[in-house]
């Protein structure tokens, strides 16, 4: 599907950030460039407004990651992009009102939610997590589903219901930080937040995630647009055990 010159320019700009991000895929070193994602996921039968919304949303997402998670190491967006596109198409097919107004509007709103979450948890927020890895590769989602699998097992890692939960949780964390919570205290502006029991220094983070991905211990294979997310294992416990084995406790 041909895209406008302005969208091509946006993809080129976002690609300059995204191209340096690494992949957890065993068959490549770097995350799929955003222009390639567009070519792979947008076919010639796709409505032009959806194609434009998709290209713009992917560009905004990669730029947001670069701005709010500058130390992020791995940034596979293949599954996220495919999931949002499929979700928007399903909503348009199921809701005549969406189909009648703008088939791309749902996709625009989905990407906007993703960008807002990136802003909420990133370096310009008092939450100030260092990486988006737990979100992109499903660790946050798997833990959420595992708390109530009977009600949540049908909810995907980037479905609206889970995105809304993350937004609510983010506002709760901001309140805890503001009130000086012992687990989530206010931090100096140069310090990253790490509430986990293992090191998340860049070299340790890279080694840990590469091993987890190689051994199939990530809930979402973010590099695969056709991935089947998994929640029925204690991924947090498995990750903690692997981290302890690699470099000991924090």
At 47 the pLDDT is: 76
- The answer on pLDDT for 132 being more than 70 is yes
Please state the pTM of the whole predicted model.
Answer: 0.89
Taking each helix axis from N to C end, the angle separating 48-68 and 5-18, rounded to the nearest 10 degrees, works out to 30
Residues 168-187 pLDDT 10s: 999 999 999 999 999 999 99
Chain-centre distance for alpha carbon 249: 26
pLDDT at 46: 75
Q: How far apart are CA 210 and CA 23, in angstroms?
A: 9
pLDDT of residue 104: 84
For tokens 């595992």, name the residue.
146
Mean pLDDT of 180-202: 95
d(CA 40, CA 223): 13
Distance of CA 2 to the CA centre of its chain: 26
pLDDT above 90: residue 144: yes
CA distance 219 to 36: 24
pLDDT, tens digit, 9 for 90 and up, residues 117-127: 999 999 999 99
So where are the chain's domains?
A: 5-247
């Amino acid at each position: 599907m041909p895209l406008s010159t302005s969208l091509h320019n946006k993809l080129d700009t976002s690609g300059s950030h995204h191209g340096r991000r690494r992949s957890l895929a065993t068959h490549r070193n770097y995350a799929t460039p955003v222009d390639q994602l567009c070519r792979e996921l947008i076919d010639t039968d796709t409505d032009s407004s959806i194609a434009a919304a998709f290209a713009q949303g992917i560009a905004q997402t990669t730029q947001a990651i670069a701005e709010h998670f500058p130390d992020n190491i791995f940034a596979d967006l293949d599954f996220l992009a495919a999931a949002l596109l499929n979700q928007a198409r399903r909503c348009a097919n199921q809701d005549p009102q969406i189909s009648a107004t703008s088939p791309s509007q749902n996709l625009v709103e989905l990407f906007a939610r993703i960008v807002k979450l990136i802003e909420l948890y990133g370096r310009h927020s008092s939450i100030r997590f260092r990486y988006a890895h737990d979100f992109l590769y499903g660790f946050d989602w798997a833990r959420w589903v595992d708390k109530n699998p009977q009600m949540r097992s049908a909810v995907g890692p980037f479905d609206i219901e889970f995105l809304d939960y993350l937004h609510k949780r983010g506002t709760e964390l901001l309140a805890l930080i503001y009130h000086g919570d012992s687990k989530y205290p206010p931090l100096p502006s140069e310090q990253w937040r790490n509430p986990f029991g293992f090191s998340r220094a860049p070299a340790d983070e890279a080694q840990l995630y590469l091993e987890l991905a190689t051994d199939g211990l990530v809930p979402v294979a973010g590099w695969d647009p056709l991935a089947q997310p998994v929640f029925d294992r204690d991924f947090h416990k498995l990750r903690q055990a692997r981290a302890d084995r690699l470099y000991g406790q924090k």
